Every structure is written in structure tokens, then in C-alpha cells.
Amino acid sequence: MGFDLGNLLNQYLGGAANANQAQASDDFDRVAQQAPREEVARGVTQALRSDQTPPFPQMVGQLFGHSDPNQRAGMLNQLIASLGPQLLSGAAGGVLGNLLGGGQNRVTPEQASQLSPEQVQDIAAHAEKQDPGIVDQMGNFYSDHPTLVKALGGAALAIALGHMAQGMQRH
């Protein structure tokens, strides 16, 4: 039994205020499986940026807390790859630099599990100050993990769905 992706997304065009936030989680699941990946990434990015959701660092910390060890490592490696040494030494009291030690530039799942969501929130805040484009990169990363994105809650999902609907209307 199929569904009409366009019709479903039209429900979210008005934004989070008009959406049934309890339904947004189920709808996000369905849409993330059908929509082009770049539209999912764009929607997630806009939810991470929205003034109707918690600040970006807080949401990244929240997602980290709900992630499995491989997702945690992938997210941290995304931050490291985009920001390099200044992130390792400057954020969260240099915790990433201390964790990685001599010259290593990739976090393993085991190493990622040693960090708290609060430390990651601090790392994300530092990363956003260094490069605001990191929000786009994290939206792209999380578009590969739509089940995890549901941890952001109904309001963020409704915002993501609304932006996905707008993007798909343009195409």
C-alpha cells in the first residue's frame, strides 16, 4: 500500500505550529524512506537551525546521547574533519585532543563512548563558532540516520518536514 508523499508533506507546509507533532515522528519515518536524500538533509539542517528548536549545540548533544557508538564516532569524526586541530585543542577543555593523543585524527566508537552529551554539546558550540557551515554538514550526516533524528522530537521533525515539503515543491 503506497502513500502520496506530496500530500503528506503538504500538511507540514505551514510549519511546526500547524502540525500534529505526535504524528510527525511516524510521518518523518515514511518521508525519509521516500524523499531524495538531499531533501532530507536540507530538512534536518533547517530543524537544527530553527529558532523554534533548541540551539544547535544542545540538539547535537541530545542526538549524541541517543546514538550508538558508531554513530557517535561518525558524528565526532565529521566535526574533526571539518574543523581540524583548533577543535581538538579548544573545545570542552581539549577533551578530544586528550582522547585522541599523539597525531591520531579519528575517533573510534570506544573513544566516543567516553564522552558525555554535555561535552559533545560544548564541542558542537565551539565548532559552530569556528565554522557556521558545520550545521549543514551535521544535517547531511544525520540525514543518513533518520531513526536517530526522531530523538529531536515532534516540533523539530515538523520543521524538517515543512522544509522538505518546500524543497520538493520547488523541484
Domain count, the chain: 1
Q: Look up the pTM and report it.
A: 0.84
Residues in the chain, overall count: 171
The better pLDDT of the pair 151, 9 is held by 151
Using the predicted structure, report yes or no on whether residue 109 has a pLDDT greater than 90.
yes
Range of the domain at 115: 5-170
Helix ranges (DSSP H) in 12-130: 21-34, 37-49, 56-66, 69-83, 85-90, 95-100, 109-112, 117-130
Instruction: Look up residue 33 and give its amino acid.
Output: Q
Q: Region 132-151: what's the mean pLDDT?
A: 93
Q: What is the mean pLDDT of the chain?
A: 83
